[in-house]
Structure 1
Amino acid sequence: MAEVREFTLPDLGEGLTEAVIVQWLVEVGDVVAVDQPVVEVETAKAMVEVPCPYGGVVTARFGEEGAEVPVGAPLVTVAVGAVPDDLAGDEGGTPCAWGSPRSSAVESGGGVDSAVAGPGGPTTAPAPAPPEAGEPQDSGSGNVLVGYGTSSSSARRRRIRPGAPEGSAHRPPAPASLAAAAGPAATTEANGTRTVAVISPLVRRIAREHGLDLRDVRGTGREGLILRTDVESEVRARAAREPVAVAAAGPVPGEERIPLKGLRGAAAEKFRRSRHEIPDATCWVDADATELLAARRAMNVPGAPKVSLLALLARICTAALARYPELNATVDTAAQEIVRLPTVHLGFAAQTDRGLVVPVVRDAQDRTVEQLSAEIARLTDAARAGKLSPAELSHGTFTLNNYGVFGVDGSTPILNHPEAAMLGVGRIAAKPWVHEGELAVRQVVQLSFTFDHRVCDGGTAGGFLRYVADCVERPALLLRGR
């Protein structure tokens, strides 16, 4: 007899607590293999394909495309053992090593057919039964997603519609079951007969920041689970009920509302936090980049690995940070300490169709210009394809922002929290310049340096920027340092 197993959104690492469903890769009735991707989701870090650890027939999907689901919430249920003989093989129903989701038996005569579920759960779906004696319970935590973001070979897909009795309905799991599936992060608070079910710590934090009592919020998730969208909707509703100086006649015709979710939402939160916490300042200088461009042309001889201009600037940054290591730092606000970091993990801003991302080159101080160029190219391609892993988008210590690609000369960027400094590079353009005592047309670039004033004063920041400008004007200076 087939048994139905529930696959929940696993912990994707890096402190991520929710994801947005971008695209379903399977439908109800499809046969899936072990480790076959079933859904593509967007987190605050990247786009990833999530593989299912069970093989069998998909009996239910939870959540529509565009819906936000918390870690621990169900994604699909799979009838393990329901695969026909002609499709059965070594891809059967053995779960992979990571995670230990609950397994539950199919109710007698219940079949395996189900309706596709919306954010509130399926209309008809096989309900997970209590585990048998000795059956392992799902801890709901510690699920490490091994190899997510990569596609395994897909199983042959076939529609299966076993004869389920019409009108048969299955009882959804009790709230306690949901809490068990969610793990330690899910808690309940009782007030009379009102139960508050929250999985995401982010939901509680948003509620605290807006002085919102979660007992006043009605959850739209499964079994009344309170989602982030529920809290944000309540916050907006309360703001709308407050007196407004100018009465609004209604929505403006043709207006468009874009949810701050996924990468854009994560960037917005980081910008807000940076502006709120960091007392930043910016200084800038114009530099003659003619010799730097000439040095790049000399390096890019036929047959040699190509060196990008961004890689040369990255090499200049690592040399400058070796002279001014106090700028490769962060501030521990809880301990009120400046933390100087031993290695340079160099982030660089990259614009993609999904918004601004900052891939990180690990141990940049140990890489040559050619190695920096190759790694920057690899990360840029992955960013544009939406295939960067969370590890490749986090734990940077210094950011290089080349906004000159947009055709602008200068900028006062927002620091990439919690980093303490950022070098900005404008476009390189032909301008009149005094060179060796004579007026000449030179290739000039504006460099800006934004820094956390808690970490250093203007003298240090100015010294760093001046050294960067000197290296741009005379690249041979790099031969004298690291």
Structure 2
Amino acid sequence: MIAEFRLPDLGEGLTEAEVVTWLVAPGDTVALNQTLAEVETAKAVVELPSPYEGTVSTLHAEAGQTIAVGAPLIAFDVVGDEPDASESASESAEKAQPNLVGYGAAPTSAGRPARRARRIGGTPVPVDTAVLEAAPHDATPSAAVDVVIERPRSTPPVRAHAKRLGIDLVLVAAEVGDRVITRSDVDAYAERVGRAGATVDETSGIPATAPSSPAALGDGERETRIPIRGVRKHTAAAMVQSAFTAPHVTVFHTVDVTATMDLLSSLRDDRALSAHRIGPLTVVAKAVCLALGRTPGLNSRWDEAAGEIVQHNYVDLGIAAATDRGLIVPMIRDAERLTLLGMADAVRSLAEVARSGKTSPAELAGGTFSISNIGVFGVDAGTPILPPGQSGILAVGAVRRQPWEHHGEIALRQMMTLSLSFDHRLVDGAEGARFLKDVADILEEPGRAMLFR
């Protein structure tokens, strides 16, 4: 029987998606929850799992084509009676939601995720084990040996990190043995073989994306036209809406963060804490959550239709991240509940997932306040535009050593500029200044955090 799979609603009222790449072709046999394709919505690139077992009959769209939610996407030849398409698709999409962002297939009866076969050199590799010729990185090319290995076990962020560095996890697994590969294993291997990829700034926790490589000026055509779609199209519309709806005001504060940097240095020297990679952005995020408790106007939204100001009694903290597909602002949910270590882990995880391109639409929805770490690009200050529905956004500048007055003398201090944009409908100048001063006080003297609730 022929069963049609229609493009499901991927969340937040999205109405269409672009097919980025097909991972199956007509004639392929697919399993339940096997990834069929990657599609790009206005917010993220999402993996679509199969709601059926069977053989691919027809692909209703080509890579690069945009289709509407509910439109036929792919047809299957399935065994037995044709399932109820609407029920099966919706139920499968709901059950497989965690898998839509690249976190593996649904658990098997043994309780572990099913693994997809890999391809090495164009040769199909069995799911569980593989026999391949591999040479150690320090061996001569002629010293190839047969190595029997299990498919590497790792988390999605670690796989994304290895892919970005051009590291094959099979080779890492051969060195670390039968255990889950960690990010530090990948970094150690990369250091040994001399791989130098783009890295996450340890002091920021936000990925620094490699610049694109356009044609040199004067080469080729005089103009290049790039279609406006996906994340960039959504971001452009949101920024225009915000800029011409909310009256923006931006205030600045230059802060002596020497004490914070000394604290971070001390924490990094503690072996029990070093794995958390606490950076300045982590401390800023924690300070923001504490300061919002005193200035609720900056954690509110303007409800024009209801004629109300909605104050949030929680903090869903957005951290702006630059990706190859454009700017996204994934959320740390209930950030006010996190300890400093919990915040560090959340920021790092958010950055790794954003860099891998697997941020889910759910992680981009909502938000009550945002932070933009422009300092990772060496920028000191800016005038950030508010994400729609939020009343405040803080731009965090670079940390620089500058001469500064300290205890009546001029000394070299570590300085940072904070830039706060807020919606003047909800926040007056005094409240905005008070919030910025609270954040600055914590960064200047981290012990002041104990005075906040």
TM-score by length of 1: 0.66
**How well do the aligned residues superpose, as a CA RMSD in angstroms?**
2.4
CA distance in 2, matches of 1:357, 1:385: 12
Alignment of 1:40-439 (within 5 A): 40-81=38-79, 100-101=84-85, 144=94, 146-147=96-97, 148-150=100-102, 151-152=104-105, 153=114, 253-300=221-268, 301-304=270-273, 305-439=276-410
CA distance in 2, matches of 1:469, 1:93: 65
CA distance in 2, matches of 1:282, 1:10: 40
SS at match of 1:396: coil
CA distance in 1, matches of 2:228, 2:338: 36
CA distance in 1, matches of 2:67, 2:225: 20
Task: Verify the 8 A CA contact 1:12 1:144 in the aligned structure 2.
Answer: no
CA distance in 2, matches of 1:318, 1:433: 28
SS at match of 1:54: coil
Residue type at the aligned position of 1:405: V
Residue type at the aligned position of 2:271: P
Q: Which residues of structure 2 form unaligned runs of 5+?
A: 106-113, 119-219
Structure of greater Rg: 1
CA distance in 1, matches of 2:51, 2:222: 45
SS at match of 2:43: coil
CA offsets 1:158-207 (integer angstroms, 9 cap, x no match): xxxxxxxxxxxxxxxxxxxxxxxxxxxxxxxxxxxxxxxxxxxxxxxxxx
Q: Give the structure 2 partner of residue 116 of structure 1.
A: none
CA separation of 1:296 and 1:140: change in aligned 2, threshold 3 A: closer
Deviation at 1:354, TM superposition (A): 1.8
CA separation of 1:294 and 1:93: change in aligned 2, threshold 3 A: farther
Residue type at the aligned position of 2:315: V
Deviation at 1:318, TM superposition (A): 0.8
Residue type at the aligned position of 2:248: D
Task: Verify the 8 A CA contact 2:7 2:73 in the aligned structure 1.
Answer: yes
CA separation of 1:375 and 1:140: change in aligned 2, threshold 3 A: closer
SS at match of 1:427: coil
Q: Which of 441, 444, 453 is the matching residue for 1:470?
A: 441
Task: Verify the 8 A CA contact 1:32 1:155 in the aligned structure 2.
Answer: no
CA separation of 1:59 and 1:397: change in aligned 2, threshold 3 A: same
Misfit runs of 4+, over 4 Å: 92-95, 138-143, 153-157
Q: Give the structure 2 partner of residue 457 of structure 1.
A: 428
Identity %: 41
Deviation at 1:28, TM superposition (A): 1.1
Residue type at the aligned position of 1:72: G
SS at match of 1:39: strand
CA distance in 1, matches of 2:92, 2:389: 26
Deviation at 1:311, TM superposition (A): 1.0
CA offsets 1:233-258 (integer angstroms, 9 cap, x no match): xxxxxxxxxxxxxxxxxxx9432222
Deviation at 1:293, TM superposition (A): 0.4
Q: Which residues of structure 1 form unaligned runs of 5+?
A: 82-91, 103-135, 158-251
Deviation at 1:411, TM superposition (A): 0.3
Deviation at 1:45, TM superposition (A): 2.1
Deviation at 1:296, TM superposition (A): 1.2
CA offsets 1:3-46 (integer angstroms, 9 cap, x no match): 11111101111111111101101111111122222111111222
